[in-house]
Structure 1
Amino acid sequence: MTDALTTSTPRTDWTLDEIRAIYYKPVLELIVEAAQVHKQFQATGEVQVCTLLSVKTGGCPEDCAYCPQAARYHTDVPVHKLLSNEVVLQAAQKAKDGGSTRFCMGAAWREVRDNRDFDRVLEMVEGVNEMGLEVCCTLGMVNEYQAERLKQAGLFAYNHNLDTSEENYNNIITTRTYGDRLNTIENVRKAGISVCSGGIIGLGETNEDRIAMLHVLSNLPQHPESVPVNALVPVEGTPLAEQPRVSVWEMIRMIATARILMPQTMVRLSAGRQEMTVTEQALCFLAGANSIFSGEKLLTTPNPGFADDQAMFELLGLTPRKSFKTESSCGVIKDAAAPVTAAAE
């Protein structure tokens, strides 16, 4: 294992050649190396359970080629306006009862606007936060002022994925730029909110695109606290409806490489789990994944339910990670002493 990987301070100066050398290792050797890094920096038998709820679905003006919520595509996803606070808080309580410690709310917006809907989302954030859950939002682009308001409401984390490499980005999305995504991540970071940012594989990208995306994430001034690794779930009516499913080995390569590059980060095994066996998921956990989304839907696509995941945890000897837990700089796990209104850095 490279000496740089055994240091207590994560690197933010990875070169593309270094990342290629890791990514293209023989897969079993890659898994072993990632597992060693995972054991050094994380509690290896611990996995965070998260739930993602679509609080406003469909009608999005963006043209993300993978997304069934884009207004321009003809899919079976029904459009619904912003859910009531009562419905959202009930869903959050159900998620907590099912074992989730992070509750994520997604709205099909291009960007946050300073209006009554945003005020209602802020109320939702406050309510979920008061339940003792880490609360996360993915609402599209946010400016510095909006990020500050979310922080003040008690937002723990904000998700804004890069999706793919900058070179491949225009093949997937043309209605906003790669720079727009990086600006939102910067605004979230400035507000002191935990950053959740990853990508999707299976969009028709090359291995070099995947490596380039990991290069951007691992060379941010501070690594994202959370990196979701999603496998495309093709949806009829979208431009990527006919894309083949990615193999578990492709997921493992992404997860293991992300774990080695960003050892203190939560690496989330996200979309695509519905099609994976328990054995395949176990290999992903071995390679460094330590978070999943549980619940019947992941925004609008099918996802394993709480009962299935509880059975998997029992079989594999995994325990759910507590809310508001952080890692010290030397990799020693500790419970955060800050109140639940503070975001982890």
Structure 2
Amino acid sequence: MAEIRTDWTTDEISEIYHTPLMELIYRAASVHREHQETGEVQVCTLLSIKTGGCPEDCSYCPQSAHNNTEVEPGKMLDREVILSAAHKAKEAGSTRFCMGAAWRCARKTKDFERVLDMIREITDMDMEVCCTLGMLDDEQAAQLKEAGLYAYNHNLDSSEDFYNRIISTRKYQDRLDTLGRVRDNDISVCCGGIIGMGETDEDRIELIQNLATMPEHPESVPVNALIAVEGTPMEDQPKVPWQDMARMIATARITMPESMVRLSAGRVDMSMAEQAHCFMAGANSIFTGEKLLTTDNNELGKDMKMFDILGLTAREAFKDAKEEHLPETVEAAE
């Protein structure tokens, strides 16, 4: 069985990443079979609960107040709207419900208190709850854990050098500090990146190394392809080739065998055959639903047809969850 390592070198990961594609997918599929249930894919739903007006200047993001996009800033969605979306997601087969707010950092306001309430209510629906709310301090991380939050998403996006060229309103270390607070409070870590922003292969390799050499691998590693949105500095970036997604997913799978590797943004532009290669390469989670925050996503009906054709099955909530990550009201799925 593939060893779980946190001491991967740049040269080792580069050798994996540059392996001929079919050999790379075969190797990743072999590791995947050793550590995961083959054909089992977690279905997740992501809802933007507070959209637009973010003070960060991320070059890729349509929600940044610095970018001239069609995304209009709005207030946080009403409780009933959020809970209704969670119920619909569960009925459609999702076992993880993710809430995203366009904040630079979680703020000590009534809106944050409302998020805590939503976490409690959705956890009681026997769904994994994930949030992405920006940077956290120690108190906020502890409050999220107490409310029953299962996972927190905070992506590194790319290598540190490339990150600092596309974002000026925060530093890479700020991201790492928040991830440390999440881990210290026994919340499952969801952390990955975006490709297709103009980064080099070396930037992608460094991203994988930064994830795979954390003291504990992230339990969830989203691999996103840039959705080039008009009005952002990256509006003219070309579409990411499917083979680049498969290569990143395979490299993540080999270096982080027990992590959930998520085929995330950009899937809407991929054919069923292209997605199948990504599942072969080790992806075992997708987002379904009309939107991924503000960009289009795959239709549920088409996803269910794909599952049927490829022989994929939906993963149960909390399966193989570490005991310290479980909300007090939840028992792990067998």
**8 Å CA contact 1:154, 1:343 repeated in 2:** no
1:234-253 map, 5 Å? 234-253=228-247
Change (3 A) 1:282 1:340: farther
Quick one: which of 56, 77, 85 aligns to 2:71?
Answer: 77
CA–CA separation in structure 1 for the residues paired with 2:329 and 2:225: 31
Give CA deviations for 1:34-89 in whole Å, capped at 9, x if unaligned.
00000000001100000000000000000000000001211111221011111100
Q: How does 1:89-128 map to 2 (within 5 A)?
A: 89-128=83-122
Q: Which residue of 2 aligns with 1:20?
A: 14
Query: Root-mean-square deviation (CA), in Å?
Result: 1.7
Question: 1:306 is matched with which residue: 300, 303, 313?
Answer: 300
Seen in structure 2, the aligned counterparts of structure 1 residues 261 and 340 have a Cα distance that, compared at 3 Å, is: farther
77-86 or 22-31, which deviates more:
77-86
Matched residue of 2:277: which SS? helix
Q: 2:49 is matched by which residue type in structure 1?
A: V
Identity of aligned residues (%): 61
Quote the offset at 1:339 in angstroms. 5.0
Q: Tell me, what secondary structure is at the counterpart of 1:326?
A: coil
The CA distance in 2 between the partners of 1:93 and 1:341, in whole Å, is 18
* Superimposed CA distance per residue, residues 208-261 of structure 1 (whole angstroms, 9 cap, x where no aligned partner): 000000000000000000000000000000000000011011001100000000
| Equivalent residue in structure 2 for 1:33, among 6, 22, 27 | 27
Which residue of 2 is the match for residue 155 of structure 1?
A: 149
- Find the partner of 1:284 among 267, 278, 289: 278
Give yes or no for contact 1:194–1:343 (8 Å, CA) kept in 2.
no
The one-letter code of the counterpart of 1:120 is R
Letter aligned with residue 158 of structure 2 = T
Q: For residue 14 of structure 1, report the CA deviation from its aligned partner.
A: 0.3
- Counterpart amino acid of 1:18? E
Q: Distance in 2 between matches of 1:244 and 1:337?
A: 41
Give the Cα separation in 1 of the matches to 2:34 and 2:116: 37
Unaligned runs of 5+ in 1: 1-5, 329-333
Gaps of 5+ in 2: none
Matched, 1:165 2:164: no
Point out 4+ residue stretches in structure 1 off by more than 4 angstroms. 336-344
Q: How does 1:194-343 map to 2 (within 5 A)?
A: 194-326=188-320, 340-341=329-330
Matching residue of 2:52: 58
The code of the aligned residue for 1:92 comes to A
Alpha carbons 1:155, 1:341 under 8 Å: kept:
no
Segment drifting more, 284-293 vs 142-151: 142-151
Alpha-carbon contact 2:150-2:327 (below 8 Å) kept: no
Preserved contact between residue 157 and residue 343 of structure 1 (Cα < 8 Å): no
TM-score w.r.t. structure 2 length?
0.97
Letter in 2 for 1:27: L
**For 2:46, what is the secondary structure of its paired residue?**
strand
State the one-letter code of the partner of 1:216: N
Aligned residues: 332
Aligned residues of 1:198 and 1:217 also touching (Cα < 8 A) = yes
SS, match of residue 93 in structure 2: coil
